[in-house]
Amino acid sequence: MPHIVIHLSGEPDAALARRAVEAVGDLTRRLLGKQPEVIATTVQFIPDAQWFVGGRTLAEQGASAFHLDISVTDETNTKAEKARYLAAVHEAMASLRPDLHEVSYVHVIDARAAAYGYGGRTQEFRHQAAKM
């Protein structure tokens, strides 16, 4: 049950947004073991002139970038799984954006089960209910 926020540099592009969501969703399912029916993703575009790396805009550098935050329930993925995920997401984004700046970030947020959920129920509630 992750929530994913993808920031992409550039002007809004529905086709690029869909490809990014599909690629990230597939990696989230395969590498982190998350169920596709509960993956929620939002995409936001930020103009190249408003995205700075090293004090210079992406427009000045002729580059693109992304930032991805994914919230997952704490203790549901290993360090190795998360490391593979970070590498794979960067590789997938580089295939979508050939001019991708190396300084593009992925942040896996390990959220406590008692403080995170959907549908009005925490992940801790779901975990306890599954035990019964």
The domain that contains 50 carries what CATH number? 3.30.429.10
Q: Where are the alpha helices (DSSP H) in the chain?
A: 14-32, 58-61, 79-96, 123-131
Confidence at residue 32, expressed as pLDDT on a 0 to 100 scale: 98
Confidence at residue 127, expressed as pLDDT on a 0 to 100 scale: 83
Confidence at residue 132, expressed as pLDDT on a 0 to 100 scale: 72
Q: What percent of the chain has pLDDT over 70?
A: 100
Region 66-75: mean pLDDT is: 96
Task: Report the domain count for the chain.
Answer: 1
**Residue pLDDT, tens place only, 28-46:** 999 999 999 999 999 999 9
Domain hosting 86: range is 3-131
